[in-house]
Amino acid sequence: MNLLIVESPTKAKTISKFLGKDFEVVASMGHVRDLPENTIGIDIVKNYTPYYVVPQQHQATVTKLKEVARKAKKIIFATDQDREGEAIAWHLAYLLNVDPESKCRIVFHEITESAVKEALDEARGINLDLVDAQQARRILDRLVGYQLSPFLWRKVSRGLSAGRVQSVAVRLIVEREREIQNFKPEEYWTIEAKFNKPPHLPEKWGGKKDSAKKEDAFAGKLHKINDKILGKFDIKTGKDAKKIIAELKNASYFVKNIEKKKVSRQPPSPLTTSLLQQEANKKLGFSSKQTMVLAQQLYEGVNLGEKGSVGLITYMRTDSVNLSEKFLNEAEKYIKKEFGENYSEKKVYKAKSRLSQEAHEAIRPTDISKTSDDVKKYLNDNQYKLYKLVWSRALASQMAAAQFDTVAVDIESRLLEGRTPERSAIPTRYEFRAAGSSLAFDGFLKLYPDAQNEKDKNIPQLAEGEELKAKNLKEIQHFTEPPARYSDATLVKTLEEYGIGRPSTYAPTISTIIDRGYINRLKDKKLAPNEIAMLVNDLLVNHFPNIVDYNFTAKMEEEFDEIANNKKEWAPMIDEFYKPFKALLNQKEKEISKRDIAEKVTEEKCAKCGSAMLEKIGRFGKFLACSAFPKCKYTINLEPKKPEVEPIPTNEICEKCNSPLFQVQGRFGAYLRCGKYPECDFTKKIIKAIGIKCPQCKEGDLIEKRSRKGTKFWCCNRYPNCKYALWNEPVKKQNSDEMVVCEKCGSPLVYDRRGNIKCYNKECDFELIEAD
């Protein structure tokens, strides 16, 4: 029996049906070794040697893998084909005593029978250059995070974090917010009119049949004054606009020039990871993380009834726009059959980025004959939407360009009184421009319409010198608008343009800065910074400029690419960064005072001890704190107050002074407080049972509690005899005292911060269930 190891159970299930009885396919559940959580795990003196451990949640998996491996004739690692996948294979080889240079590694871009079997025929050793590139990134990020984050705790507030890529992303969002805050709108005006052919005499009086129709009216905009093209701010005030309107009311209008063109709009390129996230955000409203979770499911396999688990799309972490010759031929054949010969136009795309890494394909369907409608009944709504996007985009990239007929008409004004078209125009010469377009051939738009695919803007048949009649001549006031906040799509696009991060890092970066409390996702799904983000960003920009410098961070990405291509050693690269960084960190530790950055003395006096109150800022915003801390812990929240709730009397008695306890609402929820507060500062937590029996000891009940930092967690009420705990609220079975567990891995299903249901095991591919 041969053993083939992949990352996830779904991927294992899909591949199993291809290989028959000769192979056992098992899942590693993601990374099996990593740096330890509680220590830095890097020996800086010994050339930055990392010390890896098997995380507790993976120890059972590793034990099982070792048991299966002992019985296997051959062990093959079929983890993902990027650097992360190569590193997982390397860690597995170490744990299972497999020679990494032996033919133990296979890669494939799609999970199809032909791709997997072809990969087995081309097995190779583990690419240690890719492993080194991944390891260098991991070590560098650990060095920055584990040394800079505690610095922020000491100088700003506990619980803060900094990272090599996340801090740059925060900087982009902070700087955009400040652009918006500092923006001063500028007023400007435009002049517009509706034009039409003037009505002719009735036919019985000698007029023509083709009199002007209402639907022939078209809009024009003032374009030139005295042959000079108008700039945006040339008409600055309403007074200036009204003066022009007054002059134009005494004018007639004639067609000066007509310019007709045929314009082609080329189809979009195939999808890279970045483009997939951008398109899914713009067209479907998906976050980057949501998009990647769904794409992973479509890649690893979806149950298609009698056909079993089928991988529907190719690998979703790629910066390549290349498509296989096989797919190009299949697409050409499909387009000609379904749309017609004139809709097919075979194209080969090349990546714009010189940093495009690993020779992957673009994201495409594995089988073009499986249309989105064919598989719709097997997919949930979001899977269907994303598959339809991938299928349509890949096919559209091989279709003909759309063709538009465009026309631009210049319309000049002339005096009415005593003038003829041949005589000179009024002293000030005004010229309008009208533009129209109509779709002559839809091409790729037939399958993949976009926001630019607007309704036709028709302009009637006109002739140069022909007189027109102007209606609804009006001045329109405008104000410039501030730049828009970043969305997931525009932030990913900007990170990619700067060369910051890679396909595998965009979604985790955005999730991290939201989860860490730096960034809020607003109701319109735009990204806005919290006040703490601005403070931390300013600190890093002023004192650690390289950490948040766009070009410096992009340069680091280039160096990781050089390591992956065997052009650079990873340890010297780390050393070149770390030594000056550590020296600067030591220097700033001495120079920077928390009081200078995050504290300000106020005129307020402490209500408990009379000491001066300090204005501080923490993860949850501004607050006042007694300067006598830690002797006095009195604080006042300065964030916008929620409606005050009257203290609720209880039957409990204060353990310090025997006064009644009242239930009051604090920042972290309800608690009990002495009725003589602030004279008596006794408080007591409210034990909140959630109706679930402890799954570990089977005796205790799970209760909701808060850590010293104020973070909620759920644990057994028999602590310390039972130490079972979760950082997310578990989902309770209806009419039961048990929690719901994941059908894929057996871990608890829990609620995230937004009320969505997810698997507590981060490595599990359980599909997020979004809150209504």
DSSP of 51-112: --B--GGGHHHHHHHHHHHHH-S-EEE---SSHHHHHHHHHHHHHTT--TTSS-B---SS-S
Q: Tokens representing 260?
A: 């007709």
Question: Of all residues in the chain, what percent carry a pLDDT higher than 90?
Answer: 53
Residue whose structure tokens are 């997931």:
488
Angle at 598 between CA 594 and CA 602, to 5 degrees: 105
Angle at 278 between CA 272 and CA 279, to 5 degrees: 85
Q: Tokens representing 468?
A: 């027109």
> Cα-flanking dihedrals φ and ψ of residue 368, to 5°?
-65, -20
Cα 2 from chain centre: 40
**pLDDT score, position 427:** 63
d(CA 548, CA 395): 40
**pLDDT score, position 577:** 93
d(CA 572, CA 578): 10
The two most distant CA atoms of the chain are separated, in Å, by 108
d(CA 411, CA 417): 19
d(CA 619, CA 752): 19
Beta strand ranges found along 266-365 (DSSP E): 302-303, 309-310
**pLDDT score, position 217:** 87
Angle at 25 between CA 24 and CA 29, to 5 degrees: 140
**pLDDT score, position 619:** 65
d(CA 603, CA 606): 10
The CA-based dihedral angle spanning residues 569, 570, 574, 576, taken in that order and rounded to the nearest 10 degrees: 10
Q: Tokens representing 670?
A: 């309800």
CB 550 within 8 A of CB 170: no
DSSP 553-585: HHHHHHHHHHHHTTSS-HHHHHHHHHHHHHHHH
d(CA 462, CA 472): 20
**Residues in the chain with pLDDT < 70?**
199-215, 352-359, 415-427, 451-455, 619-620, 639-646, 667-669, 709, 734-735, 754, 765, 767-772
Distances (CA, A) of 86 to 6, 25, 78, 107, 618: 11, 18, 9, 9, 40
Omega of the bond prior to 678 within 30 degrees of 0, cis?
yes
Bridge-based pairing of strands 228-229 and 218-225 is antiparallel
d(CA 302, CA 383): 10
> Cα-flanking dihedrals φ and ψ of residue 692, to 5°?
-125, 130
CB 162 within 8 A of CB 149: yes
CB 263 within 8 A of CB 403: yes
Q: Could you tell me which of 573, 490, 686, 541 has the C-alpha nearest to residue 140?
A: 573
Q: Could you tell me which of 265, 199, 271, 705 has the C-alpha nearest to residue 452?
A: 265
Neighbour-count burial of 176, counting CB atoms closer than 10 A to its CB (0-12 exposed, 13-18 middle, 19+ buried): buried
Q: Tokens representing 335?
A: 């387009």
Bridge-based pairing of strands 2-6 and 23-27 is parallel
d(CA 353, CA 292): 22
Using left for φ > 0, alpha for ψ between -120 and 50, and beta otherwise, residue 302 falls in beta
d(CA 531, CA 699): 45
What are the residue ranges of helices labelled H in 96-162?
A: 113-121, 128-155
CB 301 within 8 A of CB 310: yes
What are the residue ranges of helices labelled H in 427-549?
A: 488-498, 506-515, 531-543
The CA-based dihedral angle spanning residues 244, 245, 248, 249, taken in that order and rounded to the nearest 10 degrees: -150
Radius of gyration of the chain (CA): 33
Sign of the dihedral defined by the CA atoms of residues 711, 716, 721, 726, in that order: negative
d(CA 276, CA 496): 13
The residues that are catalytic are 315
Residue type, 229: I
Neighbour-count burial of 692, counting CB atoms closer than 10 A to its CB (0-12 exposed, 13-18 middle, 19+ buried): buried
d(CA 174, CA 536): 10
Q: What's 269's DSSP letter?
A: P
Residue type, 326: K
Using left for φ > 0, alpha for ψ between -120 and 50, and beta otherwise, residue 756 falls in beta
**pLDDT score, position 419:** 46
H or E element at residue 477:
strand 467-479
